[in-house]
Amino acid sequence: MIDRYARPGMSRIWGEENRLKLMLRVEEAFLEAIAEDKGIPAAELKAFKTAARGGLHEQVVALEAKSGHEVIALLSAVGARFKDQAPKLSRYLHYGLTSSDILDTALALQLREAVELLVADWEEVAARLGGLAKRYEFAWMAGRTHGVHAEPITFGVKLAGWHAEARRNLARLRRAREEASYGKLSGAVGCFSQVGPQYEARVLDALGLKPEPVATQVVPRDRHADYFHALVLSAAAVERFALEIRHLQKTEVLEAEEPFGEGQKGSSAMPHKRNPVLCENLCGLSRLIRSYESAMVENICLWHERDISHSSVERVILPDAHVALDFMLARFRKVLDGLQVYPERMKENLDRSLGLVFSQKVLLRLVDAGLSREEAYELVQRNAMRTWKTREPFLKALESDAVVAKKLSRKDLAACFDLKAYDKTVKELLARGGVA
């Protein structure tokens, strides 16, 4: 796990202690499921569930070093501890199961805990995006394509788009949660050779999981690769938003800035600098999470009923990707909380294009007035080029163009440059983006 980026909640989930706890939770549910049939006394079961388990992790680590096998080490440690206290139960611990029954079922529980944290993270972010969208509903700014001014947009609409993307990613994470909610207790090679399907049904039901219909020795890894994609897309969304803030914070643009603490120093050399380092960090982390994906997909193609090559990959990638994404969402929330937005500067920048951003409106009015599209296009482009070169406002240029004047009155022309006309659509776009 990446310490630098690890927040406590997500760290706990991926820590060894929780991992062991979840594995024991599965063993316990299994013991409960077979207790009656195998005659395990209720007192033993109770002892097993309530006994102190401190120090188990250290014991397991020590035993694993000897046996080279994690689950066997866990069983030995637990077995030793309960041998006297719960002799019958000890014999039936892990009865007829294979390691992957425990590992994969516990992993499903772990993924569910993790994804719930991510869902909560995203909801915090989405709430802020919605709030900011509302606040800047009519903060007009240049819409930009290719980095070049295109037509006006409001910062609120931009944020409503982010809000919609946040919600899409929330939906993806929830879908991923379902994909990850499959366990198995079908034993070695998945054939229920020792213990029948009825016990699997009871155990998974108790854990809130669904049975893998036809497992190999493991829950098939296409599920995990599918699950993982939701993380990659979530990271990419944050990256897209962070990238935009970096653009808005460029010296020449300066329409927004990420928060900059009092004691913070932007540069060891240049004290005046306020750099979008949080957002840059978010872009880097997304790059990282994205890169993991190919390994998760490669994991699908295990040999026969499974080899164990996926294990090292998952040991590294699953904690790291969850930790990094959790960190990203928390950091991005912080960015949004302290985001500096400069609406006057947005307007100022928009005005820099001298009205050219309204060119299409003029073009269409000329078409409405009877010109062919090609004629109108050339007429508008001619005047646009003139504005571009002479810095004469576009409206002025058009007003002094005789051909235009013949088609459009001054009032008609002026109407093309009026932002008020867009108010209704702005409101509608916010609503479409789920912003109340």
Q: Which residues are catalytic?
A: 146, 267
In the chain, what is the straight-line distance between the N-terminal and C-terminal CA atoms, in Å?
A: 39
- Can you tell me the distance from the alpha carbon of 203 to that of 185, in angstroms, rounded to the nearest whole number? 8
Least distance between its own copies and beta carbon 224 (Å): 11
Q: Which is nearer to its own copies, 183 or 190 (CB)?
A: 190
Which residues share a beta bridge with 140? 154
Q: Which is nearer to its own copies, 53 or 240 (CB)?
A: 240
State the CB neighbour count (10 A cutoff) for residue 14: 20
Q: Which is nearer to its own copies, 183 or 220 (CB)?
A: 220
Least distance between its own copies and beta carbon 165 (Å): 6
Q: Which is nearer to its own copies, 146 or 406 (CB)?
A: 146
* Positive or negative torsion for Cα 208, 214, 219, 223: negative
Q: What is the DSSP string of 190-206?
A: GS-SSS-HHHHHHHHHH
- Can you tell me the distance from the alpha carbon of 106 to that of 27, in angstroms, rounded to the nearest whole number? 10
Q: Which is nearer to its own copies, 142 or 335 (CB)?
A: 142
Least distance between its own copies and beta carbon 169 (Å): 7
Q: Strand 210-211 vs strand 182-183: parallel, antiparallel, or unpaired?
A: parallel
Please report, as a single letter, which amino acid is at residue 281.
Answer: N
Least distance between its own copies and beta carbon 124 (Å): 20
- Nearest-10 crossing angle of helices 56-67, 70-82: 130
Contacts of 53 (CB under 8 A, 6+ apart): 21, 24
Least distance between its own copies and beta carbon 366 (Å): 10
